[in-house]
Structure 1
Amino acid sequence: MLVQLQYTRAIAALLVVYFHAILQLQKLAPDAWLNDYLFGKSGVDLFFVLSGFVMWITTCDKPMSVGDFWWRRIRRIVPLYWAMTLFAATVAFVMPQILKSTQFDVPHILASLFFLPWINPADPEGRMIAPVIVPGWTLNFEMFFYLLFGFCLLLPRQLRLAGLVALIATIFLVCTLVLPDLTVGRFYGDSVIFEFVAGAVLGHLYKAGHRLPITVAGAMALLGFAALLYLDFLEVDLPRFFTIGIPSILIVYAATSVEVRDHRSLHWLQVLGDASYSIYLTHAFTLAGMRMIYPLVMPILQSDVLFVVAMMVASSLIGLASYYLFELPVGRLLASVRFSRGTRPVPARSV
């Protein structure tokens, strides 16, 4: 795997953590000057583009059954997500005052476990489509994309990309034009779904040998990040794909055009990239804990900036612990199972 993708994943995860840390700060200290600098939700757009890119480059050169592809994605996504979802549901049942955006609701919990778009019962307006772990809304998109991408593997290689574009565009149009008032239509009618497609297109370009000159890639990366953060901050009233999706595409294209030779100087960023999924899923719990100790630590820190930094550091450390103690060992255990050409999982030694 390209190491610069891990760097980008780390940056994406830290952006999301910063975004939610500022949201916490706005509740704890409404007058804090740092509250005006709210951005970072664009980290998920980087994740979406990266996801499409990785799915393409890891499947285009080798035969892979649909079952094997889905099993790889399930064992990567489901164990930690289910563990965190059930943990949050338990906390919501036993100590509902801790998690402000979570209510114990059985239909909502089941929908969350199976990645189905569902109205979050904690939203007083009844509009927010989010699972038990609110940031998990991105995983509903991820699993939807994996489902469609898996079907496209049934097509001849030269038709897969066109098939993927046509399939997602058709679903988007149906959701937008036919089902705009339904939860499923509102959710899958979001333009962010095309960020996955853009990532797959970048993967196709990469495998075809299309690279940008290093100077052009560097300039594009800087321009992309500047536009990403600025448009994220402005919250322009346009489809998300056009505001922060396109800058995310530019960043990933630039990142995949360069060759990183010295991995040692940025090894810490690679480690955070490896643990980015754990950081992303656990940071909501970490920030909830930091919110509760805010009155205790502020007399020591005496700085809202330092508290936000502390929230980001704590989220990273908890995420790393989750990665090494749960995500990695469980992933290795499940990797001992492979899918044959059919759809039945079989032990790896018999393949």
Structure 2
Amino acid sequence: MLVQLQYLRAVAALMVVYFHAILQLAKVDPAIDATAFLYGETGVDIFFVLSGFVMWLTTSGRATSPIDFARRRIRRIVPLYWLATLFSAVVALAAPSLLKSTVINLPHLTASLLFLPWPNAADPRTITPVVVPGWTLNYEMFFYFVFALLLPLSEARRIPAMFAVFAVILIACRLLPETTATRFYGEPIMLEFLAGVVLGWLYRQNVLLANRWAWAALATGFAFLFVNEALMQPESRFYAWGIPAIFILYGAVSIDFSRLPVLGWLNYLGDCSYAIYITHAFTLAFLRVAADRLPFGILQQPVLFVILSLVLSSIGGAVIHEITTPRRKVAAASRPPA
């Protein structure tokens, strides 16, 4: 895996943690108004473009059956997500004050486990699963489903077919009567996956930016992501946030990072990014509860709370990653010494 992809995974995950940490501040102390510092939601858009890129990169030039592809994706995504979902359900039933945004009913829980869009029992206006950040996984799994179905096509036909399928889906969702499914799958945010696929094709064709333009694209992408998140609403994210994410990824993969020192800690956090993303809500809930119980209001200091959120979410994600990926340890142990 390209090391810059690992870096971007880590950065995107920590952006989302930061975003949710800022949101938690209002629950820690209602007097705190941190809306001016509310950034990081766009980490999701980086993840989506990255996902399309990686799926193309890992399947291009090799024979991959839809079953094998689905098996790998399920092994990667499902166990930890199901564990987090069931853990949330248990906590919500046993101690509902700990996870205030979680209300359990059987249809919602079932839909969450099956990666199907469903109105959240705690707030029916939103279409989110039991583990709220998992709404992105509902899109991911749908993209994987379409991607897997098109794998039998030749690579020359695969990308046009993907564009056709998603165009039909988006148009159909606009024309059909409004339902939870048409509202969810009718969001053009799914086009970010296709953008990543196209970038993957360009990378495989060695159509890359010159080094100075690549660094400019990377910097410009992050700058516009920061500005657009402040100025543009999530309803326009597929272009206001998606296009800067495309610049970021295209710039990053065009740079030859093999000539640069490897940032081992950031590379490792990239490995842990999925675990960080899935588990950080529990870490933030723990910190929020701790803030009410510790003396002197230590955790009610906004800067300290956010820093601890980032650090403890990273540590917690790393621990869960190590627990849930034993094969990495076996492989490392069996590797002959250098």
TM range (shorter): over 0.9
Which SS does the other structure have where 1:256 is aligned? helix
Amino acid at match of 2:134: G
Matched residue SS, 1:62? coil
The 5 Å alignment of 1:239-258 reads: 239-258=236-255
1:141 corresponding residue in structure 2 = 139
Give 2:153's aligned amino acid. L
Deviations 1:85-123 (A, max 9, x none): 010011111111111111121111110000000000101
Match of residue 79 from structure 2: 79
Q: Deviations over 1:32-75 (max 9, x none)?
A: 35442101110011000000000001111100111000101000
More helix by percentage: 2
Q: Secondary structure at the residue paired with 1:8?
A: helix
Question: What are the superposed Cα offsets for residues 249-305 of structure 1, whole Å, 9 maximum, x if unpaired?
Answer: 110010110111256551111111100000000000000000001131664467311
**Identical-pair percentage:** 50
Of 222, 228, 233, which aligns to 1:231? 228
Alignment of 1:191-270 (within 5 A): 191-236=188-233, 238-261=235-258, 264-270=261-267
Equivalent position of 2:46 in the other structure: 46
Matched, 1:309 2:315: no
The alpha-carbon deviation at position 332 of structure 1 amounts to: 8.8
Q: 1:173 aligns with which of 171, 174, 189?
A: 171
TM-score calculated relative to the size of structure 1: 0.90
Whole-angstrom distance in 1 between the partners of 2:190 and 2:296: 41
1:33–1:129 CA distance, 2 compared to 1 (3 A): closer
2:157 pairs, out of 159, 170, 185, with 159
Which of structure 1's runs of 4+ aligned residues deviate more than 6 A? Answer: 330-333
Does structure 1 retain, via aligned residues, the 8 Å contact 2:6–2:270?
Answer: yes
Q: Distance in 1 between matches of 2:235 and 2:101?
A: 26
Is it true that 1:325 corresponds to 2:323 in the alignment? yes
- Aligned AA (2:26): Q
Q: Does the Cα contact within 8 Å between 1:93 and 1:104 map onto a contact in 2?
A: yes
Please list every run of 5 or more consecutive structure 1 residues that lacks an aligned counterpart in the other structure.
334-351
Give ranges in structure 2 of 5+ residues lacking alignment.
Answer: 331-338
Output one character per residue of 1:220-245: Cα deviation in whole Å (capped at 9) or x when no partner.
11110011111112233752111101
How many angstroms apart in 1 are the aligned matches of 2:299 and 2:26?
Answer: 17
Q: Secondary structure at the match of 2:241?
A: helix
Separation in structure 2 between the aligned mates of residue 4 and residue 13 of structure 1, nearest angstrom? 14
1:239 aligned counterpart, secondary structure:
helix
Name the residue aligned to 2:110: 110
For 2:333, the equivalent position in structure 1 comes to none
Partner of 1:61: 61
Distance 1:65 1:230, change over 3 A: same
Equivalent residue runs for 1:277-296 within 5 Å: 277-295=274-292, 296=294
- Gap change, CA 1:203 and 1:304, over 3 Å in 2: same
- For the 8 Å contact 1:34–1:305, the answer to whether it is kept is no
Q: Which residue in 2 is equivalent to 1:99?
A: 99
The code of the aligned residue for 2:74 comes to I
SS across alignment from 2:60:
coil
Number of equivalenced pairs: 329
Kindly tell me: are residues 300 and 254 of structure 1, through their superposed partners in 2, closer, same or farther at Cα, counting changes over 3 Å? same
Residue 193 of structure 1 aligns with an amino acid whose one-letter code is M
Displacement of 1:313 in angstroms is 0.6
